[in-house]
């Protein structure tokens, strides 16, 4: 994988790789909010120091794998909205699509717009054979996003995050026979 760090653009969004300077915004919009973190690993808000560790992880992931997490920015206002990206998961190296958008932006199709852009980049540019998403069984909004962006429900798994999660998959067109 190359180490180029692209910026993705959609009609309403700018998705750019995280920098350490994004940690306060990520905490304020995503990881400091109990509604948003309810279904994320850990299930509760994180202190600012832990969010800085998360951003460091995102930055290092780009260096190691040539892809990673994007800060999601409102193109019109420049406001920080949330996160969306691709992550290599232990134990098997599966590539996970992850997303979390600030509470103020729910219900506007923003999560699906960001996730669709990241998946397209992963499949079309990075040539990944498969992208998965892991969703809590009670997180119906996130399940709808996965289906809306073309992922297929593939059952439940307890292989990741020490949790029993719904597994969604999206295979590259060649893998789908297309």
CATH at residue 131: 3.40.630.30
Domain count, the chain: 1
For 104-153, the pLDDT digits (tens) are 999 999 999 999 999 999 999 999 999 999 999 999 999 999 999 999 99
155: left (phi over 0), alpha (psi -120 to 50) or beta: left
Q: Does 176 reside within a domain?
A: no
The backbone torsions φ and ψ at residue 139, rounded to the nearest 5 degrees and listed phi first, read: -95, 80
Average pLDDT over residues 148-168: 96
**pLDDT for the residue numbered 51:** 97
- Which long-range CB contacts under 8 A does 74-80 form with residues at least 24 apart? 74/12, 74/13, 74/14, 74/105, 75/9, 75/10, 75/11, 75/12, 75/13, 75/14, 76/12, 80/22, 80/25, 80/26, 80/28, 80/29
Cα torsion 57, 60, 65, 66: sign: positive
Query: How confident is the model over 61-96, as pLDDT tens digits?
Result: 999 999 999 999 999 999 999 999 999 999 899 999
- The answer to whether the CB of 81 falls within 8 A of the CB of 140 is no
| pTM attached to this predicted model | 0.93
Structural domain includes residue 177: no
In a domain, 2, yes or no: no
Q: Is residue 108 situated within a structural domain?
A: yes
Domain interval for residue 89 = 8-171
Residue 34 buriedness (CB in 10 A; 0-12 / 13-18 / 19+): exposed
Q: Express each pLDDT in 2-16 by its tens digit.
A: 447 999 999 999 999
- Give domain status of residue 160, yes or no: yes
């Amino acid at each position: 994988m190359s180490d180029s760090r692209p910026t993705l653009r959609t009609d309403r969004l700018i998705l750019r790789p995280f920098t350490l300077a994004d940690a306060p915004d990520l905490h304020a919009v995503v990881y400091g909010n109990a509604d948003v973190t309810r279904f994320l690993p850990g299930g509760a808000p994180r202190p600012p120091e832990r969010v800085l560790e998360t951003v460091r992880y995102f930055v290092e992931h780009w260096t190691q794998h040539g892809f990673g997490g994007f800060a999601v920015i409102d193109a019109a206002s420049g406001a920080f909205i949330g996160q969306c990206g691709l992550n290599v998961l232990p134990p098997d190296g599966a590539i996970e699509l992850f997303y979390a958008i600030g509470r103020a932006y729910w219900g506007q199709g923003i999560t699906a717009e960001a996730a669709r852009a990241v998946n397209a980049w992963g499949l079309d540019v990075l040539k990944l054979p498969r992208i998965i998403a892991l969703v809590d069984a009670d997180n119906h909004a996130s399940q709808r996003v996965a289906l809306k962006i073309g992922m297929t429900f593939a059952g439940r798994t307890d292989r990741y995050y020490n949790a029993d999660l719904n597994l969604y998959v999206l295979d590259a067109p060649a893998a789908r026979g297309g």
